[in-house]
Amino acid sequence: MTKLKLGPLEDDKPVKLTVELPAAIFRDLKSYAKILARSGGTTSSTDPGKLIAPMIERFMATDRAFTKARRNAAQDSGVVERSG
């Protein structure tokens, strides 16, 4: 079984955002969606567009420099940071 970085997708209230992707990235995104659907035991393909937000979330969550800068910015402004 393939161990993907993304697991099951959460159903959350979306915010509409339009992005343009290079064709090669979109093809890879469609392939990722198919593999994710198969590894989850379903036969239906996941909508590739629904992968973008979890991928960005995962990327930011694992970016140590971003996490540190965000923590420092929150401390400087006195804002309480929300956790994942």
**Cα(6)–Cα(36) distance, integer angstroms:** 8
Whether residue 13 lies inside any domain: the answer is no
Closest C-alpha among 27, 35, 34, 28 to residue 3: 35
Q: 0.85 exceeded by the pTM? A: no
Whether residue 70 lies inside any domain: the answer is yes
**Along the 84 residues of the chain, how does pLDDT read in single tens digits?**
567 777 777 777 878 889 999 999 999 999 999 898 888 755 566 788 888 988 999 999 998 888 888 888 888 887 655 655
Which residue is associated with the tokens 């198919």?
34
Domain of 73 in residue numbering reads as: 23-77
Buried b (16+ CB within 10 A) or exposed e, 35-49: ebeeeeeeeeebebe
Whether residue 39 lies inside any domain: the answer is yes
